[in-house]
Amino acid sequence: MKKRILVTGGAGFLGSHLCERLLNEGNEVICLDNFFTGSKQNVIHLIDNPYFEMIRHDVTMPFFIEVDEIYNLACPASPIHYQYNAIKTIKTSVMGAINMLGLAKRVKAKVLQASTSEVYGDPEIHPQTEDYWGHVNPIGLRSCYDEGKRCAESLFFNYHRQNDVRIKVMRIFNTYGPRMDPNDGRVVSNFIVQALKNEDITIYGDGSQTRSFCYVDDLLEGMVRLMNTPDAFTGPVNIGNPGEFTILELAQNVIELTNSKSKIINQPLPADDPMQRQPDITIAKKELGWEPKIPLQEGLIKTIEYFKSVI
Ligand code: NAD
Ligand code: UDP
């Protein structure tokens, strides 16, 4: 059955892939975005589809529409972008959640929140399970994002308990792939762009910190499966690739796959940069029947091809 689906942040990296996928599955898609970090270019190939609508709007303002499902992705995701206007980032997470939950309540839509592994902060348990409450600096430079997302999770669960809103909370771990913004400062895009230009690869700190990188197609499969779970399942659920790599290993992989002449240089580690991150995906496997399929090298090759075409 054709559903009418709202995707906030739909012109961003993950949102644009999601809009495309939902349209391909035969749905009607409304993409809402204020174009802060996203761009029309990401969805330009969808514009001619009569079942696709693009709306310039800011989620901090109320929005009225009739829809069956809402994917709430609007929020800058890279540290450079979310720290650019920290107060706005908090407003986007918190007021955006309130507006989308209010909308879901009124039209009885299901609503999915793109939460983050950042709710775990700099974790003291490894790998991270959903029952871990996290280790977040509430006043640090990353707090606008971390605490904004934590407050959004609280709002989701309170709307669920108080108003029976049908919610899905997804904790996304570092995801990469085509349509990442080459200038947003995230590690995969930075390293690939630097390697392709034979510029120095900038490792912050000694490169021993770890991340677990999920390819965008795997991530979206988990996201759509989560939306389609029975109402009783709300999450939170970790979606990410448990393959854990140091940032130095990532740099070495990128240099090898691009045949780059780049040298690795070290720069200071930003404040509160988490030392390790790896999702425990037991719940995703059980409840969604999901696990990632694309290993890092394979995903990097596809992403490198994309960056070759845009830079
Ligand atoms: P992105 O920056 O490419 O996309 C975010 C989109 O939201 C952009 O199109 C931006 O213009 C839009 N936006 C920002 N503020 C808005 C506002 N106030 N009103 C309307 N639109 C607004 O980032 P992404 O990687 O695609 O991330 C999408 C979501 O997934 C975010 O909520 C992010 O926190 C979450 N997430 C992503 C990752 C990842 O690794 N990519 C990891 C964890 C969580
Ligand atoms: N990083 C790095 N060099 C870069 C960009 C990032 O060493 O050019 C490091 C960063 O300090 C962090 C990791 O890579 O330890 C992941 O950074 P990113 O901004 O991609 O995401 P997050 O820290 O939010 O996981």
Per-residue pLDDT of the chain (311 residues; tens, 9 = 90+): 899 999 999 999 999 999 999 999 999 999 999 999 999 999 999 999 999 999 999 999 999 999 999 999 999 999 999 999 999 999 999 999 999 999 999 999 999 999 999 999 999 999 999 999 999 999 999 999 999 999 999 999 999 999 999 999 999 999 999 999 999 999 999 999 999 999 999 999 999 999 999 999 999 999 999 999 999 999 999 999 999 999 999 999 999 999 999 999 999 999 999 999 999 999 999 999 999 999 999 999 999 999 999 98
The dihedral sign for the CA sequence 172, 241, 247, 130: positive
Look at phi and psi of residue 289 and say left if phi exceeds 0, alpha if psi is from -120 to 50, else beta.
left
Q: What is the pLDDT of residue 81?
A: 96
Three-class secondary structure of residue 46 per DSSP: helix
Asked if 50 and 78 count as a contact pair (C-beta separation under 8 A), the reply is: no
**Ligand whose nearest atom lies closest to the CA of 193:** 2
**The one catalytic residue among 71, 82, 120, 145:** 145
Residue 51 DSSP class: T
User: Which stretches of the chain are DSSP H helices?
Assistant: 13-24, 79-84, 86-107, 143-163, 187-196, 216-227, 247-258, 282-283, 296-310
The reply to whether 145 belongs to the active site is: yes
Q: What gap in Å lies between CA 11 and CA 17, rounded to an integer?
A: 9
What confidence score (pLDDT) does residue 138 get? 98
Kindly state if the Cβ of 174 falls inside 6 Å of ligand 1: yes
The confidence score (pLDDT) of residue 1 equals 85
Q: What's the pLDDT score for residue 105?
A: 98
CA dihedral (235, 239, 242, 246) in degrees, to 10, reads -120
Note whether 265 and 200 are within 8 A (CB): yes
State pTM to two decimals: 0.98
Residue 165 in contact with residue 111, Cβ under 8 Å?
Answer: yes
Rounded-to-integer distance, Cα 4 and Cα 63, Å = 15
CA-91 nearest atom, ligand 1: 18
Which residue has its alpha carbon closest to ligand 2 atom 25? 174
Could you give the CA distance from residue 125 to residue 111 in angstroms, rounded to a whole number? 29
**Predicted pLDDT at 311:** 87
Q: At what angle do helices 216-227 and 13-24 cross, to 10 degrees?
A: 60
What are the domain boundaries of the chain? Answer: 4-175+215-241+278-293
* Spatial contact of 42 and 16, defined as CB atoms under 8 Å apart: yes
Cβ(262) to ligand 2 under 6 A? no
For domain 4-175+215-241+278-293, the question of CATH label 3.40.50.720 is answered with yes
Strands 244-246 and 210-212: antiparallel
Query: Does any ligand 1 atom lie closer than 6 A to the CB of residue 178?
Result: no
CA of 203 to the centre of ligand 2 (A): 8
Instruction: Tell me how far the alpha carbon of residue 112 lies from the centroid of ligand 1, in angstroms.
Output: 14
Q: What is the DSSP letter of 179?
A: T
Residue 175 β-bridge partners: 214
What pLDDT, on the 0 to 100 scale, is given for residue 295? 97
| Cβ of residue 79 lying under 6 Å from some atom of ligand 1 | no
Q: Nearest C-alpha to atom 34 of ligand 1 is from which residue?
A: 77
**How far does residue 6's CA lie from ligand 2's centre (Å)?**
30
Ligand 2 pocket test target in 171, 247, 248, 252 with most atoms within 8 Å of CB: 247
Q: How far is the CA of 65 from the centre of ligand 1 (A)?
A: 21
Token pair for residue 238? 């970790």
CB atoms within 10 A of CB 45: 11
168 and 239 Cβ atoms separated by less than 8 Å: no
**Is the minimum distance from the CB of 157 to ligand 2 under 6 angstroms?**
no
